[in-house]
Amino acid sequence: MSKQINVTIWNEFRHEKSNEIVKKLYPQGMHKAIADGISADDLNIRLASLDDPEHGLTEEVVNSTDVLLWWGHCHHGDVKDEIVKRVHKRVLEGMGLIVLHSGHFSKIFKAVMGTNCSLKWREVGEKMRLWNIEPSHPIAQGIGEYFELKNEEMYGERFDIPQDGKIIFISWFEGGEVFRSGVAFERGHGKVFYFSPGHETYPTYYDKNVLKVIGNAVRWAKPLIYQEHTAPNAKPLEAIRTPNPHTVSAGIVQDVDGNTKK
């Protein structure tokens, strides 16, 4: 029997409580809709949200999560820095991270990217068409040449992300913009996928193509290894013959945060 992938779907989960349109669309939250939509035997899915203790992302949860999904929007600022640091560390050790829609401005996505992650936006419910640029990529399996969403928020270029992302989807918007809508990164030992559709007032997380992409991304982001980052003092593997002009300064050692230790 193959081991299940431990998936945690994190959602800000406030729009669904405060906005009637969103509440009607996603009565149990977008995270629950995604969980139901990608449910499969190989996935062990948990939910977490902003207002849970430690945002639902305790050490125990993070360390037992293989792939973390993240949807946030208006309350990025309420996510505690120490939790962001915990998640970031775990991504670099191997945990997969899938960032959805307005999560582009989340602290965790900006932290792993190192850039501003800014973009243009417009909410008029226009048509969005996602072109599949890399049909051979695991995330694009089962997706045709393109798929459409009848109503979506426009996210437009320039999207401030590093250029090493492998672009899987580029979107066309009715109003005249384009966007790199599906981009796959590697950071440390972890994989990171950004996927742009998913405005809270539309039924995007019931769309079969969107769910297919998210499910594919979960399998793609599953880590092969977990490995902590250390900065070891290494013994030479070969004899050192070059004369050293001075006595080596005795034993300065740093931890991975760059702090000096005795």
CB of 134 vs a second copy, minimal distance in Å: 8
Does 14 sit near a second copy (CB under 8 A)?
Answer: no
Selected range binding a second copy among 41-49, 51-59, 63-71, 229-237, rule: CB under 8 A: 229-237
Structure token digits, residue 256 = 């991975």
Distance of CA 228 to the CA centre of its chain: 19
Residues 86-125 that bind a second copy (CB under 8 A): 92, 94, 105-107, 110-116, 118-125
**If we measure between CA atoms, which residue out of 45, 50, 23 comes closest to residue 35?**
45
In DSSP terms, 128 is beta-bridged to 149, 173
**Residue 219 preceded by cis peptide, ω within 30:** no
Q: Which is nearer to a second copy, 45 or 169 (CB)?
A: 169
Residues 6 or more apart from 253 whose CB is under 8 A from it? Answer: 233, 260, 261, 262
Does 241 sit near a second copy (CB under 8 A)?
Answer: yes
Q: Which is nearer to a second copy, 71 or 202 (CB)?
A: 202
Residues 6 or more apart from 128 whose CB is under 8 A from it? Answer: 148, 149, 152, 154, 171, 172, 173, 174, 197
Judged by CB under 8 A, the residue of 85, 189, 206, 219 near a second copy is 189
Residues 153-172 that bind a second copy (CB under 8 A): 154, 156-158, 160, 162-164, 166-167, 170-172
Does 225 sit near a second copy (CB under 8 A)?
Answer: yes
Selected range binding a second copy among 37-45, 49-57, 206-214, 223-231, rule: CB under 8 A: 223-231
Judged by CB under 8 A, the residue of 29, 56, 182, 190 near a second copy is 190
CB of 138 vs a second copy, minimal distance in Å: 6
Q: Which is nearer to a second copy, 150 or 208 (CB)?
A: 150
Does 75 sit near a second copy (CB under 8 A)?
Answer: yes
Cα–Cα distance, 81 to 93 (Å, whole number): 18
**If we measure between CA atoms, which residue out of 62, 137, 47 comes closest to residue 93?**
62
CB of 157 vs a second copy, minimal distance in Å: 5
Structure token digits, residue 54 = 């430690």
Structure token digits, residue 97 = 């991270």
**If we measure between CA atoms, which residue out of 57, 108, 129, 99 comes closest to residue 214?**
99
Does 227 sit near a second copy (CB under 8 A)?
Answer: yes
Selected range binding a second copy among 34-42, 63-71, 204-212, 245-253, rule: CB under 8 A: 245-253
Phi, psi of 255 (to 5 degrees): -85, 180
What number of chain residues touch a second copy (CB under 8 A)? Answer: 99
